[in-house]
Amino acid sequence: MRAAKILTPDSHVADSHVATARLHAFYVLTKPRVNSLIVFCAIIGMFLAVPDGLPSPVIVLAATVGIACVAGAAAAMNCLIEMRIDARMSRTRGRPLPRGELTPRETLAFAVALGGSGLLILHQLVNPLTMWLTLATFVGYAVVYTIFLKPRTPQNIVIGGASGAMPPVLGWASVTGDVSADALLLFLIIFAWTPPHFWSLALYRSADYARAGLPMLPVTHGPEFTRLSVLLYTCILFGVTLLPFATRMSGIPYLVAAIALGGCYLGHAWRLYVDYSDARARRAFRFSILYLFLLFAALLADHYLRF
């Protein structure tokens, strides 16, 4: 016979601690810090899509919630598919699945519910094109990148970066119902930014990736080639960030910001190339995040300064 559970005031407190810890574990699965910048870029795409004036607040809210839910679901699927790999890397072994805080079944149910709700919101309150593009982005990251590219080729993040570059396009499509050449320029910026962003981290985490058996560039081609690749992609990024000015999508204030930020980023990449240290790589990685945030903020500021 099962023993009856004795309810005391303490057991209620313990239950609420367990519930809070589980909620927190689900939250961690969505990779909230990475996704906050992803959602930020999508929101900038929404505002840039309106030539003069502001997008509808209802669309902005619905598209933001919808894209955030699907991006969170994509992160949760990535954590589920990689739970064994995550257990082998010091950076990721504290995640909820390797720690046994959540089961694979709970994670799958959470990802389906969150992603499904996001897609429904996009379809019903935004437009079908945005829903389809967001679904394609989800498949690109959770399936194409995570399952096929990441364990097979050091070009994984270059090709997989196409998914990460989609958020401003999703934002643009949610407001206009289509995808213009300007939106593709925003895509190109994030696409060119992803390799230096990721490879700086991979340089100081290469032992982790080697232990997990993942063919990241520093593991397959060595640190020197990776540092050169970071430098070359940062040059490409510098050139690509001038395109919004060249096409008259943005004006002088943006150009000044792009040159200043690009100059700082080139400085990081150059120092990394000529005199490597893990601390330098860490700084370059951290700067990559600040860089993208400020560059997109500059695009927005320039947009409203001009009209």
Ligand X SMILES: CC(C)=CCC/C(C)=C/CC/C(C)=C/COP(=O)(O)OP(=O)(O)O
Residue of 29, 43, 70, 83 that binds ligand X (CB under 6 A)? 70
Neighbour-count burial of 222, counting CB atoms closer than 10 A to its CB (0-12 exposed, 13-18 middle, 19+ buried)? exposed
Smaller CB distance to ligand HEM: residue 289 or 294? 289
**Ordered DSSP codes for 239-303:** HHHHHHHHTTSS-HHHHHHHHHHHHHHHHHHHHHHHS--HHHHHHHHHHHHHHHHHHHHHHHHHH
* Total residues in contact with ligand HEM, by rule CB under 6 A: 18
* Alpha carbon distance 154, 191 (integer Å): 16
Taking the alpha carbons of 144, 148, 153, 154 in that order, is the dihedral positive or negative?
positive
Q: Which of 259, 243, 248 is nearest to 291 (CA)?
A: 259
* Binding partner at 236 among ligand HEM, ligand X, none, C-beta below 5 to 8 Å by kind: none
- Min dist CB 64 to ligand X, Å, is 11
* Alpha carbon distance 198, 36 (integer Å): 17
Q: Does 226 bind ligand HEM (CB under 6 A)?
A: no
* Binding partner at 39 among ligand HEM, ligand X, none, C-beta below 5 to 8 Å by kind: none
- Min dist CB 210 to ligand X, Å, is 14
Q: Does 43 bind ligand X (CB under 6 A)?
A: no
* Alpha carbon distance 284, 265 (integer Å): 8
Q: Which amino acid makes up residue 276?
A: Y
Smaller CB distance to ligand HEM: residue 125 or 147? 147
- Min dist CB 11 to ligand HEM, Å, is 35
Q: Does 31 bind ligand X (CB under 6 A)?
A: yes
* Binding partner at 137 among ligand X, ligand HEM, none, C-beta below 5 to 8 Å by kind: ligand X
Residue of 14, 19, 23, 34 that binds ligand HEM (CB under 6 A)? 34
Q: Does 164 bind ligand HEM (CB under 6 A)?
A: yes
- Min dist CB 156 to ligand HEM, Å, is 7
* Alpha carbon distance 40, 245 (integer Å): 21
Where do runs of H (alpha helix) occur along the chain?
Answer: 9-29, 32-48, 57-81, 83-88, 104-121, 128-139, 156-164, 167-176, 181-204, 206-212, 217-246, 252-274, 278-306
Q: Which residue is nearest to ligand HEM (CB)?
A: 164
Site residues for ligand HEM, window 165-204 (CB under 6 A)? Answer: 190, 194, 197-198, 201
- Min dist CB 164 to ligand HEM, Å, is 3
31 Rama sector, left if φ>0, alpha if ψ -120 to 50, beta otherwise: left
Q: Does 34 bind ligand X (CB under 6 A)?
A: yes
Indicate the DSSP class of residue 95: S
* Interface ranges with ligand X (CB under 6 A): 31, 34, 38, 67, 70-71, 74-75, 78, 82, 92, 134, 137-138, 141, 150, 163-164
* Interface ranges with ligand HEM (CB under 6 A): 33-34, 37-38, 41, 91, 145, 157, 160-161, 164, 190, 194, 197-198, 201, 289, 292
